[in-house]
Amino acid sequence: MLLVGLTGGIASGKSTVSKALREEGQAVVDCDAIAHAVTARGRWGFKRIVRAFGADCLTPEGEIDREKLGRLIFNSPVERRKLNAATHLPVGMELLRLVLWHWTKCTRVLYIDMPLLFETGAYKWMARNVVVLVDQDMQVSRLQARDQITTEAALSKVKAQMPVESKAARADHVIDNRGSVEQTKSQVSSLVQKLRSDTSSYLHVLISPPGLCLMAVFLAAIGSEWGGKDGAKPQGMRIV
Ligand SMILES: CC(C)(COP(=O)(O)OP(=O)(O)OC[C@H]1O[C@@H](n2cnc3c(N)ncnc32)[C@H](O)[C@@H]1O)[C@@H](O)C(=O)NCCC(=O)NCCS
Ligand SMILES: Nc1ncnc2c1ncn2[C@@H]1O[C@H](COP(=O)(O)OP(=O)(O)OP(=O)(O)O)[C@@H](O)[C@H]1O
């Protein structure tokens, strides 16, 4: 299975690209959705957040107050590190579970939409890394339009992450999302074709479950041949 990391700054268009990938029939795992699931009331991530931030971070209904927590962490690197320490392990474990599930399903290429791909170092585990690129003005205006927030609030969210140009400089592929959604979709189609025909994916086929079974059968066959009677060396082999 070929693991492909997909990232970009906040509101750069990762979800828009993920949607286009799914429309192309590709498998996508969304780390924001994982983070929401593992921090739902009573889950492991929820308990770790409450332990780190106290009951103050809860709504009257007992859920995580995402707006309040967001305000806190996007304005303070110290609080952000505290939240990351609470959430990254549960998010990582759930991600691992989903990757294994896709592996057993023989998914050939798995895209992982992960906002903090470079910040967390997870990019090292990916065969390829893709960055969705927009310029900062566009990022701020799209974020403001989508979330109905002030320019100041949008800027503090943008600045809480590595600059998107630095991410693009580390990418194997860049999707330029400064144009229309249609233009972005056509870049997604080309990317899908390119990664499908990527030669390195043959190695990933080999380490898929059927690939490993074939290798096990092959090794067992070789082993019985080499083992011979009473562990004798294979016929025709001479020790010099
Ligand atoms: C801060 C929280 C409560 C805000 O929740 P909210 O529903 O308003 O936003 P949502 O979860 O949809 O995230 C929106 C975007 O914020 C950015 N973001 C989220 N967490 C972080 C973080 N720790 N540091 C920097 N940016 C972040 C990402 O670009 C993400 O796409 C929430 O994002 C959260 O629990 N974050 C910690 C989990 C995490 O690290 N998620 C990223 C997965 S790699
Ligand atoms: N090419 C585009 N042209 C116009 N608007 C766009 C384009 N791409 C995305 N948008 C809009 O910009 C906003 C942000 O896009 P999107 O939600 O895909 O970003 P994201 O990177 O997934 O955000 P987040 O980091 O918050 O998860 C959305 O309202 C989306 O509809």
The pLDDT, as a whole number, for residue 220 is 85
The pLDDT, as a whole number, for residue 203 is 65
The predicted complex's ipTM stands at 0.96
Q: How far is the CA of 229 from the centre of ligand 2 (A)?
A: 66
Task: Give tens-digit pLDDT for 181-235.
Answer: 999 999 999 999 999 887 555 666 666 676 777 778 888 887 777 665 555 555 5
Q: How many CB atoms within 10 Å of residue 184?
A: 18
Q: What are the backbone dihedrals phi and psi of residue 42, each rounded to the nearest 5 degrees, phi first?
A: 90, -15
Q: How far is the CA of 161 from the centre of ligand 2 (A)?
A: 16
Contact 17 CB / ligand 1 (< 6 Å): no
Contact 116 CB / ligand 1 (< 6 Å): yes
Q: How far is the CA of 16 from the centre of ligand 2 (A)?
A: 6
What is the chain's alpha carbon radius of gyration, rounded to the nearest angstrom? Answer: 23
The pLDDT, as a whole number, for residue 235 is 59
Q: How far is the CA of 32 from the centre of ligand 1 (A)?
A: 7
Looking at ligand 2, which residue's alpha carbon is closest to its atom 7? Answer: 181
The pLDDT, as a whole number, for residue 49 is 98
- Whether the per-residue pLDDT at 10 is higher than 60: the answer is yes
Contact 158 CB / ligand 1 (< 6 Å): no
Higher per-residue pLDDT: 62 or 206: 62
The pLDDT, as a whole number, for residue 224 is 74
Among all bound ligands, the one having the nearest atom to the CA of 79 is: 1
The pLDDT, as a whole number, for residue 19 is 98
- The angle formed by the CA atoms of residues 159, 144 and 116, to the nearest 5 degrees, is 40
Looking at the CA of residue 67, tell me the nearest atom of ligand 1.
Answer: 8
Task: Give tens-digit pLDDT for 75-134.
Answer: 999 999 999 999 999 999 999 999 999 999 999 999 999 999 999 999 999 999 999 999
The pLDDT, as a whole number, for residue 152 is 95
